[in-house]
Amino acid sequence: MNEQKRIEIEADRILRLFSNSGAQIVQPDVLQRADTLLDLYGEDIRARAYVTSDPFNGEMMLRPDFTVPIVKTHMTGETGNETARYAYCGKVFRRQEKNSERASEYLQVGYEIFDRTDVIKSDTDVFCIVKKALGDLPLRVATGDIGILMTAVSSLKTTSSRQKALLRHLWRPQRFLAILEKFTNEVSLSTERFDGFQAEKSFANQAKEIGLRSKSEIIERIENLLQDSKEAPISTTELEVINSLLNIGDKCPQALIKLKDLLPDMPALGSAIEKFEKRLSALDNADVDLSSIDFEASYGRTSMEYYDGFVFGFYSENHINLPPIATGGRYDALTKHIGKGREIPAVGGVVRPDLIIQSKGFEDND
């Protein structure tokens, strides 16, 4: 049997598994409006997605994933109920600017849950069904929880504008650390240049006012910076908690112990850690062997920007250089962003049947 046929059979098997567990099968369009995706991901999406143009509809993109179109359809209420489970199977398209060995189109089979009643159960359901789809392949499983990181940042004893700046760059680890470092220093070096700033005088010798960004926006930013420079720095204790948190990488049970060790210095982490612990026991009840699963506090930070809770990835043990065979996570904020006021907790995962076949291929050769 040729490889393409094997991939299709595998995809079909997984889609059936997903739909048999109560999910409705959906088929989003291949062409998606570029503006939604650009607004969501920013310019980086252009490096990853194929952009086409259409004289009537403007820029369109070949879908780089299914999650966004499904959230869009769900949030406009087209599918009826607020609570829903969806399954899908189809190709996604990814430009590979640098890594030309990676596939630029491949099948994804996915499962998404929109449900506000029991988020821990939804997390566990998605994880377990993806795990089941992968059968007995030898896999390394990595998990994370962006929610813990967000809680830690939101509980820093500092201004809300500093918290906001840190949260905004949670997905850009280098920038995040640079900002954190800046906020930990006593004097804000970046405002020395505004000493003696006076809205009227300081502009006097400067060039003409051009463009959409106005003088009042500039004044407002300078005043905010001057105000911010008077704030007390983030304490070194809190800085250390964030650093230790970011460095946690262990099997789940040990990771839980390490997380709890942070509590005395940052009690506000309590509720997030409790949620993590509940998820662990739900996974344990579902017969998941926690001692074999990694937890990395930073996991999922460099992927697409919408995950904000539980995240996971399954990696081939046969062939460690393969991209993850399955990935997934929680994206509550995305539903709010796309839902324009409406929101619902949501979590999902996708499997790549082509990588299952490849991974099995390596097994056969051994």
Partner 1 sequence: MIKLGVPSKGRLMEETFSWFASRGVHLKRTESKREYAGYVKGVQGIELTLLSAGEIPTELNEGRIHFGVTGSDLVCEKLPNWDQNLEIVKSLGFGFADLVLSVPRFWIDVDTLDDFDSAAEAFREKHGFRLRIATKYHYLVREFLKSAGVADYQLVDSQGATEGTVKNETAEAIADITSTGETLKANHLKILTDGLIHKSEATLFKSKSAFFRKEQVNAESKFLAHILSD
Interaction site with partner 1 (CB under 8 A): 38-39, 42-44, 46-47, 97-98, 100, 165, 168-169, 172, 174-176, 178, 190, 193-194, 202-203, 206-213, 215, 217-218, 220-222, 225
58: exposed, middle or buried (C-beta count within 10 Å: 0-12, 13-18, 19+)?
exposed
A 10 A CB-CB count for 47 gives: 12
CB nearer to partner 1: give 185 or 237: 185
**Within the chain, where are the H helices?**
3-20, 34-41, 44-48, 67-75, 119-133, 146-154, 160-168, 173-184, 215-229, 236-246, 252-261, 270-285, 332-339, 353-365
Least CB distance from residue 224 to partner 1, whole Å? 8
Least CB distance from residue 17 to partner 1, whole Å? 37
Residue 211 in tokens: 């463009």
Instruction: Tell me what percent of the chain is helix, strand and coil, each rounded to the nearest 5.
Output: 45, 20, 35
Q: Are strands 139-145 and 293-296 parallel, antiparallel or unpaired?
A: parallel
CB nearer to partner 1: give 131 or 162: 162
Amino acid at 227: Q
CB nearer to partner 1: give 201 or 230: 201
Are the beta carbons of 93 and 87 closer than 8 angstroms?
no
Amino acid at 240: E
CA 68/CA 20 separation, integer angstroms: 23
CB nearer to partner 1: give 81 or 100: 100
Least CB distance from residue 217 to partner 1, whole Å? 6
CB nearer to partner 1: give 102 or 132: 102
Residue 11: CB partners within 8 Å, gap ≥ 6?
A: 89, 107, 109, 353
Return the sign of the alpha-carbon dihedral for residues 234, 235, 241, 247.
positive
CB nearer to partner 1: give 228 or 284: 228
CA angle 270, 274, 278 (to 5 degrees): 175
Closest CA to 266 of 122, 119, 156, 138: 156
Least CB distance from residue 175 to partner 1, whole Å? 3
CB nearer to partner 1: give 220 or 231: 220
CA 323/CA 313 separation, integer angstroms: 10
Least CB distance from residue 298 to partner 1, whole Å? 15
Least CB distance from residue 315 to partner 1, whole Å? 25
Least CB distance from residue 332 to partner 1, whole Å? 20
CB nearer to partner 1: give 49 or 126: 49
A 10 A CB-CB count for 145 gives: 29
CB nearer to partner 1: give 47 or 263: 47
Least CB distance from residue 218 to partner 1, whole Å? 5
CB nearer to partner 1: give 216 or 285: 216
Least CB distance from residue 327 to partner 1, whole Å? 21
C-alpha distance from residue 323 to each of 15, 112, 220, 320 (Å): 21, 21, 45, 8
Least CB distance from residue 358 to partner 1, whole Å? 23
